[in-house]
């Protein structure tokens, strides 16, 4: 190995980078930039797919809520209509009573039927509400389950 003395050393030797190749540096930057762009593109595609999936989940949830609201509204109207018909029929029957005992008997029977009907209607509305809630929650639950399975080991 040849060592240079202080008199033989030139400024290029002191400040030069003999291992430095500008062509390799440019290629390294280009490779890093291409890798970064590829990763950014992949991340953007994943984000887009996730956003589309979440939009579909939201649309399905809103559609289920809309149809469930209509179903509950129709059940409620049906119950109100049945109660109104029963009340009107009871009023008609009250117009034909002839004695107090007949009034008490008619009123007792009407109240008994109304309590039974109200319990049946409440049970039907409760079942419908439960069904609607399950249908509304299903898309979000499935999306959460799918997301969690993607992160499981």
Going from the C-alpha of 84 to that of each of 35, 65, 96, 124, the distances in angstroms are 73, 28, 19, 18
Q: Is pLDDT of 141 > 60? A: yes
Domain extents for the chain?
58-151
Highest mean pLDDT among 11-20, 74-83, 136-145: 74-83
Q: Give the pLDDT mean for 56-67.
A: 93
| Count, residues in the chain | 153
Structure tokens at 67: 């149809």
Structure tokens at 60: 């399905």
| Angle formed at CA 57 by CA 52 and CA 58, multiple of 5 degrees | 95
pTM to 2 decimals? 0.65
Structure tokens at 52: 């589309």
Unique residue bearing structure tokens 């956003």: 51
pLDDT at position 26 is 72
């Amino acid at each position: 190995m040849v060592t240079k003395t202080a008199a033989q050393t030139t400024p290029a030797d002191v400040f030069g980078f003999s291992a430095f190749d500008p062509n390799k540096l440019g290629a390294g930057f280009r490779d890093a930039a291409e890798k970064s762009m590829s990763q950014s593109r992949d991340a953007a595609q994943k984000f887009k797919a996730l956003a589309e999936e979440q939009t579909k989940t939201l649309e399905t949830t809103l559609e289920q809520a809309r149809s469930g609201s209509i179903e509950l509204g129709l059940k409620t109207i049906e119950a109100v209509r049945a109660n109104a018909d029963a009340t009107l029929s009871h009023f008609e029957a009250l117009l034909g009573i002839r004695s107090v005992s007949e009034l008490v008997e008619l009123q007792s029977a009407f109240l008994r039927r109304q309590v039974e009907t109200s319990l049946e209607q409440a049970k039907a509305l409760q079942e419908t509400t439960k069904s609607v809630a399950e249908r509304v929650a299903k898309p979000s639950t499935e999306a959460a389950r799918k997301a969690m399975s993607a992160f499981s080991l």
